[in-house]
């Protein structure tokens, strides 16, 4: 089967390409390199022995998407491509609405034209909004999102639902990720955010490696066990495997619209993650307590039981493995500065 992976050189995209190739899928990548590097393609080849075909196109150009579908007989699409920085989306909402929505609409229109109606979409737990209950189940549905990035995810979910309702020969799987972290065990691919990271794990890594001075822990007065924010961190390879399972289900069942949480079901606090990272890697992470970050919730984690029941998917990798693999990746991929 030929799978088109949009954003396939990005963080979750690249790990999913590895798992796809391992499962004998034929992988084609489209990526505009706006938040990824072409060297990832070499790394994919190093890991799997196969080099996926790459189109360096921006999905906002519909004629380019058509070119891909004309040249290749695509069976299904996994759609990762999109901007994802929460803070930037608040500063520059139109950049997010324009990029994330236009590219997805173009993609879906071309898919329809070429009668390719199988898609797995990369969504986020952020679509639940602030619900006041820590454990998120799929049945809760979409709530009020707190930033334009999250709103684009929510809107795309709605678009996919509408498409399915208008034509139920589509097969759609929506995967709502919690907090993907970690890296491939080879140390060859991982998360490489441009500039100063927004998210906790990339920040921990930069401080551990000596590129940044100190990690701000945003608030230690939340109503959680140690006062710091609690999230559901999942190893990116577990996330990647979730996509394979979702794809297999689409192949098996043929038509339908399916929604799954991809999470571990376990909450881990900011301090717990820092201390696990320190212990597993035997390295100090310099941190200080800072004020709360506006818009953050105290605690949430997944109810992953639906994915377990219907996809036979669950997380296999521990927080310790997450910390080990993250460190292994950053060690191999950054110029270490002396502290």
199 makes contact with ligand UFG (CB under 6 A): yes
Q: Mind spelling out the 3-state secondary structure of 266-330?
A: CCEEHHHHHHHHHHHHCCCCCEEEECCCCCCCCECEECCHHHHHHHCCCCCCCHHHHHHHHHHHH
Min separation Cβ 45 and ligand UFG, Å: 29
Min separation Cβ 86 and ligand UFG, Å: 6
In Å, what is the CA distance from 257 to each residue of 77, 106, 109, 117, 319? 15, 20, 18, 11, 31
Measured from the CB atom, the residue of 48 and 93 that comes closer to ligand UFG is 93
Contact 73, 2 (CB under 8 A): yes
| x-or-dash string of contact with ligand UFG, 20-59, rule CB under 6 A | ----------------------------------------
Please give the residues from 114 up to 143 whose contact with ligand UFG meets the rule CB under 6 A. 124-126
Q: How many residues bind ligand UFG (CB under 6 A)?
A: 21
Q: What angle do CA 49, 50, 51 make, to 5 degrees?
A: 130
Min separation Cβ 198 and ligand UFG, Å: 6
Q: Which of 186, 216, 220, 333 binds ligand UFG (CB under 6 A)?
A: 216
Radius of gyration of the chain (CA): 19
In Å, what is the CA distance from 89 to each residue of 2, 6, 60, 93? 33, 20, 18, 5
Query: How many Å apart are CA 61 and CA 110, to the nearest integer?
Result: 11
- Can you tell me whether residue 72 is helix, strand or coil? coil
- Can you tell me whether residue 96 is helix, strand or coil? helix
Looking at the annotation, which residues are catalytic?
149
Q: Which helix H or strand E contains 198, and what residues bound it?
A: none
Contact 12, 236 (CB under 8 A): yes
84 makes contact with ligand UFG (CB under 6 A): yes
Stretch that binds ligand UFG, among 75-83, 182-190, 211-219, 235-243 (CB under 6 A): 211-219
Measured from the CB atom, the residue of 225 and 253 that comes closer to ligand UFG is 225
Closest residue to ligand UFG, judged by C-beta, is 229
Min separation Cβ 123 and ligand UFG, Å: 9
Min separation Cβ 67 and ligand UFG, Å: 31
218 makes contact with ligand UFG (CB under 6 A): yes
User: Can you point out the beta strands (E) in the chain?
Assistant: 2-6, 26-30, 53-55, 76-79, 118-124, 135-136, 171-177, 179-181, 215-218, 230-231, 233-235, 256-262, 268-269, 287-290, 301-302
Q: Which residues pair with 257 in a beta bridge?
A: 172
304 makes contact with ligand UFG (CB under 6 A): no
| x-or-dash string of contact with ligand UFG, 229-258, rule CB under 6 A | x-x---------------------------
Stretch that binds ligand UFG, among 11-19, 67-75, 187-195, 214-222 (CB under 6 A): 214-222
Q: Which of 198, 318, 333, 334 binds ligand UFG (CB under 6 A)?
A: 198
Measured from the CB atom, the residue of 151 and 328 that comes closer to ligand UFG is 151
Measured from the CB atom, the residue of 64 and 93 that comes closer to ligand UFG is 93
Q: Contact residues for ligand UFG (CB under 6 A)?
A: 84, 86, 124-126, 150, 178-179, 198-200, 203, 215-218, 229, 231, 270, 293, 296
């Amino acid at each position: 089967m030929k799978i088109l992976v949009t954003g396939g050189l990005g963080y979750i995209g690249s790990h999913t390409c590895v798992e796809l190739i391992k499962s004998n899928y034929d992988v084609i990548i489209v990526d505009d390199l706006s938040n990824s590097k072409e060297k990832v393609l070499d790394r994919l080849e190093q890991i799997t022995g196969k080099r996926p075909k790459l189109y360096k196109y921006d999905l906002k150009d519909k004629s380019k998407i058509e070119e891909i579908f004309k040249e290749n007989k695509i069976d299904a699409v996994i759609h990762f491509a999109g901007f994802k920085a929460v803070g930037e989306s608040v500063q520059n909402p139109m950049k997010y609405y324009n990029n994330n929505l236009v590219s997805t609409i173009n993609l879906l229109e071309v898919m329809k034209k070429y009668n390719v109606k199988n898609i797995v979409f990369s969504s986020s737990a952020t679509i639940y909004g602030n619900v006041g209950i820590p454990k998120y189940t799929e049945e809760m549905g979409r709530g009020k999102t707190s930033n334009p990035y999250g709103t684009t995810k929510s809107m795309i979910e709605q678009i996919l639902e509408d498409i399915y309702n208008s034509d139920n020969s589509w097969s759609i799987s929506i995967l709502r990720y919690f907090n993907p972290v970690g890296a491939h065990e080879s140390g060859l691919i991982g998360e490489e955010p441009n500039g100063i990271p927004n998210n906790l794990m990339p920040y921990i890594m930069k401080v551990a490696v000596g590129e940044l001075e100190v990690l701000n822990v945003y608030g230690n007065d939340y109503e959680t066990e140690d006062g710091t924010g609690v999230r559901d961190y999942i190893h990116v390879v577990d996330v990647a495997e979730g996509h394979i399972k979702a794809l297999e289900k689409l192949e098996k069942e043929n038509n339908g619209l399916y929604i799954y949480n991809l999470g571990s079901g376990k909450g881990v606090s900011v301090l717990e993650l820092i201390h696990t990272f320190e212990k597993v890697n035997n390295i100090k992470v310099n941190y200080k307590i800072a004020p709360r970050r506006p818009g953050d919730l105290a605690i949430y984690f997944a109810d992953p039981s639906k994915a377990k029941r219907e996809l036979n998917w669950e997380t296999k990798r521990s927080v310790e493995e997450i910390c080990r693999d993250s460190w292994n990746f950053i060690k191999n991929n950054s110029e270490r500065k002396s502290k």
